[in-house]
Amino acid sequence: MFNTDALHHGHDEDPVTGAISFPIYQTSTFSQEYPGDPREYQGKRLLYARTENPTRTALEKKVACLEQAKHGIAFSSGLAAINAILLTLKSGDHIISVQDLYGGAYRQFTKIFAKFGVEFDFVDTTELDNIKQAIRSNTKMLWLETPTNPLLNVTDIRAACELVQPHDILVTVDNTFATPYLQRPLELGADLVMHSATKYLSGHCDVIQGIVLTNSDELHEEVRFIQNGVGAVPGPQDCFLTLRGLKTLGIRMERHCSNTKQIAEFLDNHPKVLKVFYPGLESHKGHALAKQQMTDFGAMISFELNADLETAKQFLTNLKYFVLAESLGGVKSMVCNPPSMTHASVEPEVRHAAGINDGLIRLSVGIENVQDLIADLEQALETI
């Protein structure tokens, strides 16, 4: 059903030409036949491309369909999507967040919104009692990543939603790692879902984009107002590329996950690897929960080497097929050292408290031949 929806549902063929690949409406504005009487397209009033663009609308409908959401609102980046969600809050509001979250989100929380009076607590949300203890009278939102970036911790979305619901606390889930193919948080009780569409949704490392999904008409109206008012919207070319990537999301994720399972088992049995963070391993604390709320375990692995930081960096530079780069979710495998790359904006003491040690390695497993990837890891491990 998912693969069929990815190809056939969420947006119609172009009604003007019948084109089966939705067109790129590369325009900044739209002509009007009479002042104040704009043209309409699929129920949208076409005035100005910041407000509405048919290519962007097609993308929003497609992702909403796959996430089983009523509404989708697209942005120029994942951080722009996060920004829009936080702009629904006000000074004095309090957010409970996962402890080991994406470094860019942490930077935005603590260096930007904290400056305007929004308050944050970062807790280990895998233990529900930590969430309960952090709730205040001014708590307005629970911010979850599951699995988390970069330690792949898993939070019980349904239980967390049930815990905070009596307190009128909104639950936002960053679903970037899992994608709607593996996990749909709205079905588990979340109010808002966001993706860095830069990653798996587009899937080819050629787009920067974000999207917010919700079933709430009120939240949709508020976030849509922010989208237009702030103006951090994606261009039609990027929307077209993500639409193209979504067509193969399901089959890409199947290959991603299959490769990742085999690599995780290889690393877990290697003498130079101290610890592997991957929910697909039965030894992982969140394995049973991930098996329950996800259809597979994803394509991200983090692990610690039995080596110091400089030796770990040597390992990274000796890899052939794993591209040393920030980002994830592309068809090519990527590798990074979060403390010096994706999480460099997080203070060392905060990183260490969350368990993000200096020698941590994060893999984004691609769709290459898995034996080639394992051989690449093996030869790089032999050099240290």
Name residues whose C-beta falls within 8 Å of residue 384's C-beta, 6 or more positions apart in sequence: 272, 305, 307, 311, 312, 314, 315, 318
Q: Is 252 a catalytic residue?
A: no
Interatomic CA distance for residues 157 and 163, integer angstroms? 10
Asked if 150 and 360 touch (Cβ cutoff 8 Å), the reply is yes
* Number of helical H runs and strand E runs in the chain: 14, 14
**Catalytic choice (25, 56, 61, 102):** 102
Q: Is 62 a catalytic residue?
A: no
DSSP 108: I
Q: What secondary structure does DSSP assign to 289-341, as a single string?
A: HHHHH-SS--SEEEEEESS-HHHHHHHHHT-SSSEE-S---SSS-EEE-GGGT
DSSP 285: T
Interatomic CA distance for residues 44 and 22, integer angstroms? 17
Name residues whose C-beta falls within 8 Å of residue 55's C-beta, 6 or more positions apart in sequence: 22, 23, 24, 25, 236, 239, 240, 243
Interatomic CA distance for residues 337 and 205, integer angstroms? 19
Q: Is 156 a catalytic residue?
A: no
Exposure of 183 by Cβ count < 10 A (0-12 exposed, 13-18 middle, 19+ buried)? buried
- Which whole-number Å values give the CA distances from 194 to 28, 145, 248, in the listed order? 26, 10, 20
Q: Is 45 a catalytic residue?
A: no
Report, in angstroms and rounded to the nearest whole number, the Rg of the chain calculated over CA atoms.
Answer: 21
Cis before 338 (ω within 30): no
**Catalytic choice (199, 313, 351, 362):** 199
- Which whole-number Å values give the CA distances from 90 to 115, 194, 370, 383, in the listed order? 12, 20, 48, 52
Residue 299 CA, chain-centre distance (Å), reads 13
**Catalytic choice (50, 132, 158, 332):** 50
**Catalytic choice (93, 100, 156, 174):** 174
Give the active site residues. Answer: 50, 102, 174, 199
